[in-house]
A = this chain, B = another copy of it.
């Protein structure tokens, strides 16, 4: 048995480099807390020589993953390759060979989590992934441990820093969508192809992981209703503020005892007083409502070299502690149920709708009637001065089922007085007492 915990690192890019630095910088404290030193011995990367120049002679570098996976001396495999392949194969092999795995890979965990946990359980290994959701924010572990005695009612998260930065900037600097997107790209917050961020897919992957843990049931990406922020205009943000709301891209998981669980990612209007409404810039936060604890929120940086390394290293230490006590596999897969999904048409929320209408008498009455016919009652109505010869009408409905909402929208679209239904945004009044 080695007198240190032997870590093999696959992927020494932004996050991997951060992990190397944190483990070096805080080595003494980490050894104290774990009871043994933790050492990275081998680092995998496509360009070993470049890595050697960067991180020095303390590590062995290889361009062949098997040098790590097949090395019997390595206790923990840290997978930071990103993307689905070969990360999934690397994790599978490591677990099959009885190695503990720490990963930051949301794509792999969201898609193959259950299958990988089956191997981990069979091999009595740890599979940890705190960094896969919301970077440095402790949320996976708290859900699995400190909050484990609770029945989670709902979970709402700002889990994509790029879109939160963009929406914050739109509202603070009164800029329109395309301006803030360009700015986010210039700052490196958004990729040249920003689709996965602004379209909500990145948030959806994280939600799949969070919901599976919160509700103890497998959730698949296809189950998530995904809607991005592309259609959010400055006008919507201004109306929201006028009505006392902020617009955030939220990943929402709810459970309805009668209809089952629902998972969705969409722009959401939140009361300004809600704790999530104050989470700005690239910060992430997860707001959890459960039967015993009530409302609780976890906030921090959802990405970046060191915050993500913080989560990865925390997991490595937890695995190392388990190794000290030969109790790897201590926390098993938490998906031991098969809960049904709430049919979309039964999902209930209030809704904000902005539309352009012909500016003639009776227009508003016709619109109100169209809503009424679908049992959609209105909570707020704003009619503003003309926008190129048309009136702009904004309504917020009372709580409405998706089914009724869609019918109402269809009717509106064909209503002669309505020339355009510009935006539809769900409203969350939050569960904060």
Contacts and interface: CB of A to CB of B under 8 A. Distances in A.
Copy count, this protein chain: 2
A76 to B, nearest CB: 13
A25 B150 CA distance: 9
Given A300-B293, A300-B297, A138 B146 contact: yes
Nearest to A327: B325
A255 interface: no
Nearest to A296: B300
Q: How big is the A interface, by class?
A: 35 or more
Interface stretch (A1-9, A304-312, A418-426): A304-312
Interface stretch (A330-338, A348-356, A386-394): A330-338
Nearest to A131: B146
Contact of A310 (B35, B149, B318, B332): B149
Given A142-B138, A300-B297, A327-B326, A291 B148 contact: no
Contact of A22 (B141, B149, B297, B307): B149
A25 B291 contact: yes
A125 interface: no
B327 A309 contact: no
Nearest to A294: B301
Contacts of A299: 275, 296-299
A33 B334 contact: yes
Interface in A134-167: 136-138, 141-142, 144-151
Contact of A150 (B26, B296, B297): B26
A300 B294 contact: yes
Interface in A3-37: 18, 22-23, 25-26, 29-30, 32-33, 35
Nearest to A282: B433
Please report whether the interface of chain A is mostly helix, strand, loop or mixed according to DSSP: mixed
B327 A151 contact: no
Interface in A205-249: 216
A18 B138 CA distance: 26
Given A149-B30, A321-B331, A307 B294 contact: yes
A26 B307 contact: no
A306 B433 CA distance: 14
A296 B301 contact: yes
Nearest to A134: B296
Contacts of A336: 32-33
A149 B317 contact: yes
A361 to B, nearest CB: 43
A147 to B, nearest CB: 6
A291 B146 contact: no
A149 B291 contact: no
B314 A149 contact: yes
A107 interface: no
Given A307-B293, A309-B292, A32 B216 contact: yes
Given A145-B141, A149-B30, A298-B298, A292 B325 contact: no
Nearest to A272: B278
A137 B292 contact: no
A322 interface: yes
A344 interface: no
Given A22-B150, A141-B141, 9 more contacts: A18-B292, A33-B216, A136-B292, A141-B145, A145-B318, A146-B314, A147-B314, A292-B309, A326-B327
Interface of A: 18, 22-23, 25-26, 29-30, 32-33, 35, 130, 136-138, 141-142, 144-151, 216, 275, 278-279, 290-301, 304, 306-307, 309-311, 313-318, 321-322, 324-327, 330-332, 334, 336-337
24 contacts: A25-B291, A26-B149, A26-B150, A30-B148, A33-B216, A33-B336, A35-B332, A138-B296, A141-B142, A145-B314, A145-B317, A145-B318, A146-B315, A149-B309, A149-B317, A275-B278, A275-B299, A291-B306, A294-B307, A298-B299, A299-B299, A321-B331, A326-B327, A327-B327
The 3 A-B pairs of least Cβ separation, nearest first, read A149-B313, A296-B300, A138-B146
